[in-house]
Amino acid sequence: MSAKRNLAALAGISLGIYGLLLRPRLLQWGATDEEVARPYPGAELIPDGTRSATFAVTIDAPPDRVWPWLVQMGTDRGGWYSWDRLDNWGRKSADRVHPEWQAIKVGDRFYSMPNGSQWWEVAAVEPERFLALRASIDLRGHPFDPHGPRPRYFTDSTWCWVLEPLPGGRTRVIESGYWAFEPRRLQGLISALFVEPEHWVMQTRQFANLKRQAERSTPTATAPEETRTDTVVAETALPAEEVPAT
C-alpha cells in the first residue's frame, strides 16, 4: 500500500511540474502575450473549436520571400520543412521554391499521406498574409466533407499562418489554429498528453527551417506575379487593420 501511495504521489508531482513548468511552453513558443491574446483569424471555420497553441518567429526576409515556402507544402509537393522522417514519410522537404506549386486556391489539397488518403485542405488564403489549412477526419482515419454533417466521432482542425510585415524587410510569422474533437470529454486529455508535445516538436523544427530557407532565398525565386494573382481569397482572411503597415 505504501508503494502505491508513493507512486501516486510521484505521479501527482510529475503532473504538477508538467502543468506548471512545461505545458505553458508547449502552448506559447516565441509568441508574445499580446499575440496570444489577440483574436486569431479562422475561428469561424471550426464550429465549437478551441484555440490551439500559438507559436511565432521573426524572419529576416519580407513576406513575399516567406509566402512561397508555405504555399508549396504537402507530402506530394514541397514537404513540411520539419522532421521529414516523422511527418513526410522520409521524403526530403524542398530546398528551393517551385513556381509550379505557387498558385493555390480554397479547396486545394496538401496531401499528408503518400497514397493521398489524408490531406490538409486549403480553407482560407490571402497571398502573403494568411493561410489556413484544415483537416477533417473521423476516428477511423477517413476524411469527411467539412461542409457537410460531421460523423459521430471526429477530429476537425485548422493549421494557420499569419504573416505580418516588420520594418527592415522582416516578417513576423504567427502560427495557431482551432480544433474540435468528439468525444469532447477526451479532447483536453489527448491534447495535453499527445497533441501539444507533438506539435511543439514539429512546429519548432518547421520554423527553424522556414527561417533558414526564406533568409537565404533570393527575391527572384518566387512565382511570377501573374500566377499568384489567380489565388482565391476566402472571406475568413485576416482583416487589413490587423496587419501593421510597412
Residue 131 has pLDDT above 50, yes or no: yes
Indicate whether 194 belongs to any domain.
yes
Query: What is the pTM assigned to this prediction?
Result: 0.81
CA-to-CA distance for 201 and 236, rounded, in angstroms?
28
Residue 241 has pLDDT above 60, yes or no: no
Mean pLDDT throughout 144-172? 97
Indicate whether 14 belongs to any domain.
no
Domain limits at 180? 29-242
29-48, pLDDT tens digit by residue?
A: 999 999 999 999 999 999 89
Q: What is the CATH number of the domain that holds 70?
A: 3.30.530.20
Domain count, the chain: 1
Least confidently predicted of 13-22, 179-188, 203-212: 13-22
Cβ partners under 8 Å of residue 194, min gap 6: none
pLDDT of 215:
97
